[in-house]
Amino acid sequence: MEFTEAYKQTGPCCFSPNARYIAVAVDYRLMIRDTLSFKVVQLFSCLDKISYIEWALDSEYILCGLYKRPMIQAWSLTQPEWTCKIDEGPAGIAYARWSPDSRHILTTSEFQLRLTVWSLVNTACVHVQWPKHGSKGVSFTKDGKFAAICTRRDCKDYINLLSCHSWEIMGVFAVDTLDMTDIQWSPDDSAIVIGDSPLEYKVLIYSPDGRCLFKYQAYESGLGVKSVSWSPCGQFLAVGSYDQMLRVLNHLTWKTFAEFMHLSTVRAPCCAAVFKEVDEPLQLDMSELCLDDDFMGGSDAPGGHFKVRYEVMEVPITFPFQKPPADKPNPKQGIGLLSWSNDSQYICTRNDSMPTALWIWDIRHLELAAILVQKDPIRAAAWDPISTRLVLCTGSSHLYMWTPSGAYCVSNPLPQFSITDLKWNSDGSCLLLKDKESFCCAAVPLLPESSDYSSDE
């Protein structure tokens, strides 16, 4: 892998949907860099520090959330002189997002008083009263024609269905939830999945006309659902729960066809490959010792130099387990990270009680494919949008990758660069890696037809 030099950032960074640009927040400035040369192609000055940025789907416009002020500023890459400022006045702005047509911005006011749709084409705006959430609770169909918005009034949850062409309300229906957490359209736009409060295990499937297609409840006592995700193919719905179980539902019958338990000790007959991150001391030849900084880049071990690699472990194996305190809210337990591969064959999960272990499940064969055991808690994990390849980071200077052929570690040559977050670009050729105050990019080679990775690169 090839790494770029480090560039400064003080906030969000993200690729444009067409993979041509990187938007970087540096205090009150918005820098647009070319993904090939990394030169600054546009520089916009905002009125305050940038808290949030989001590209329009056509990659022509970009918005900046200045939530301290609070206001939104939007810019055009093709017309640098064009600008747009949105200020809700005393109502404030808690969150903003683009509509699928890239010509409307949806803002949610403070205290969820209203959601407003602002047009960039004319001065028209549409209001939806009492949105349920700030950053969540809004989902668009894949074809971009409709939006489903969670609202709450008179102590009851509702779904408002809006046309993204006229922004008229096409329908409103009540849902059978205690405290709706979020909604997602299915990939084929035929259904809406709704998650209820963690205090009550309930997953509801609704049709766009308000009919409840299915109500799923795995158990009645204890904390319930923590994460929900559709597979990209739309055939499966994965539900992660506080009871450390991953359950997968079929979209035709809405019945559970797979249940995966995250145990602190894995024993036979489990045939999954277990990869454990280990330090391997470098065998230095003192007669040929080189003091080059790049060569000594792996010297973050106390008292010596090492390289990181994966060691294949045999079962039984026990993972570090953190029992959450019973007297504190939002316990660190259950399936907090859940993500599908692009081909819908694999799903990766992290049980928050075991934050150093990443589990990879094979949905086709209904079995555990691999476990990656890290030295540090897993910060982020993301699937390659093109190939079956998973990348994760733990706040160290290394990247960790898994494919069906095995797992391997990649060392970042930049000094004092700790990878705390990562993002793929849309064509799977590049990774954006974030440190606390800088970022870099890594060019990712195409996967070979057949390979056998087991340790380091």
In angstroms, the CA 82 to CA 75 distance is 6
- The mean pLDDT value for 255-261 works out to 95
**Statement: residue 223 has pLDDT above 80:** yes
Quick one: which of 393, 395, 345, 394 has its CA closest to 370?
345
In angstroms, the CA 452 to CA 37 distance is 33
Residue 168: predicted pLDDT: 94
Residue 180: predicted pLDDT: 95
Residue 291: predicted pLDDT: 41
Percent of the chain with pLDDT over 90: 81
263-320 per-position pLDDT tens digit: 999 998 888 999 999 998 776 554 444 444 433 344 444 334 568 999 999 989 999 8
3-state secondary structure the chain: CEECCCEECCCCEEECCCCCEEEEEECCEEEEEECCCCCEEEEEECCCCCCEEEECCCCCEEEEEECCCCEEEEEECCCCCCEEEECCHHHCCCEEEECCCCCEEEEECHHHCEEEEEECCCCCEEEEECECCCCCCEEECCCCCEEEEEEEECCEEEEEEEECCCCCEEEEEECCCCCCCEEEECCCCCCEEEECCCCCCCEEEECCCCCEEEEECCCCCCCCEEEEEECCCCCEEEEEECCCEEEEEECCCCCEEEEEECCCEECCCCCCEEEEEEEEECCCCHHHCCCCCCHHHHCCECCECEEEEEEEECCCEECCCCCCCCCCCCCCCCEEEEEECCCCCEEEEEECCCCCEEEEEECCCCEEEEEEECCCCCCEEEECCCCCCEEEECCCCEEEEEECCEEEEEECCCCCCCCCEEEECCCCCEEEEECCCEEEEEECCCCCCCCCCCCEC
**Statement: residue 452 has pLDDT above 50:** no
- The mean pLDDT value for 125-147 works out to 95
In angstroms, the CA 178 to CA 199 distance is 9
151-179 per-position pLDDT tens digit: 999 999 999 999 999 999 999 999 999 99
- The mean pLDDT value for 413-427 works out to 95
Least confident of 47-61, 118-132, 135-149: 118-132
Q: Are 107 and 91 in contact (CB under 8 A)?
A: no
Residue 325: predicted pLDDT: 76
Computed over every residue of the chain, the mean pLDDT equals 91
Residue 268: predicted pLDDT: 86
Confidence of residue 68 (pLDDT cuts 50, 70, 90): confident
Give pTM, 2 decimals: 0.90
**Statement: residue 107 has pLDDT above 70:** yes
Tokens of 176: 């059978």
**Statement: residue 345 has pLDDT above 70:** yes
| CATH class of segment(s) 9-87 | mainly beta
- Count Cβ atoms below 10 Å from residue 265 Cβ, excluding itself: 10
What are the sequence ranges of the domains in the chain?
A: 9-87
Residue 449: predicted pLDDT: 54
Residue 305: predicted pLDDT: 56
Residue 265: predicted pLDDT: 92
Residue 293: predicted pLDDT: 40
Least confident of 5-9, 114-118, 407-411, 451-455: 451-455
In angstroms, the CA 412 to CA 6 distance is 11
- The mean pLDDT value for 245-270 works out to 93
- The mean pLDDT value for 228-254 works out to 95
Q: Are 436 and 417 in contact (CB under 8 A)?
A: no
Residue 414: predicted pLDDT: 94
Q: Are 431 and 440 in contact (CB under 8 A)?
A: no
18-41 per-position pLDDT tens digit: 999 999 999 999 999 999 999 999
Percent of the chain with pLDDT over 70: 92
Q: Which residue is associated with the tokens 């205290």?
A: 111
